[in-house]
Amino acid sequence: MSLAEELDRHFMQKALEEARCALDQGEVPVGAVVVAGGRVIGRGRNRVEETRDPTAHAEIIAIGAAAGALKVPRLTGATIYITMEPCAMCAGAIVLARVKRIVYGCPDPKAGYCGSLGSIPEDPRLNHRVAVTSGVMGEECASLVSGFFEKLRSDGRG
């Protein structure tokens, strides 16, 4: 395994920690961390149910935390690690934040917009593009999400 792959796994572990916190709170278990200069500068986990805010996705929260920590409106050069493929809203926010790279774990075939249903980050019509790496610790990320939805269904809530 290369050093870059090891770093991707290391930071995806941090995103998985956030996803587990979301799970513990009854949220869809998605976590995200923004990394710049080799360190985490923003963390987020889904908080939609807690806040009753449909935009409270892990990526949006992590981007806001990172921009606040750096006191800048753009995260040029940063990488965002997310346990699940970002939706259209989050992919758009990542582009607007000028993030350099997205690394995600498992695909989201019903809502993902970084390869599954389309690819906002790589759309050549936009004035900024974001490199996308998928499948980092994908099985672990997917099992967290699938386990959450299986439990919802068995509880009669899904």
Sign of the torsion formed by the C-alpha atoms of 118, 141, 158 and 28: negative
59 given a catalytic annotation: yes
Residue type, 28: V
- Cα separation, 92 vs 49, whole angstroms: 22
Other C-beta atoms within 10 Å of 151: how many? 12
The catalytic residue among 59, 122, 139, 140 is 59
Instruction: Answer whether 13's CB lies under 8 Å from 35's CB.
Output: no
Instruction: Answer whether 102's CB lies under 8 Å from 86's CB.
Output: yes
Nearest partner of 131 among 123, 139, 122, judged by Cα: 122
Which residues belong to the active site?
A: 59
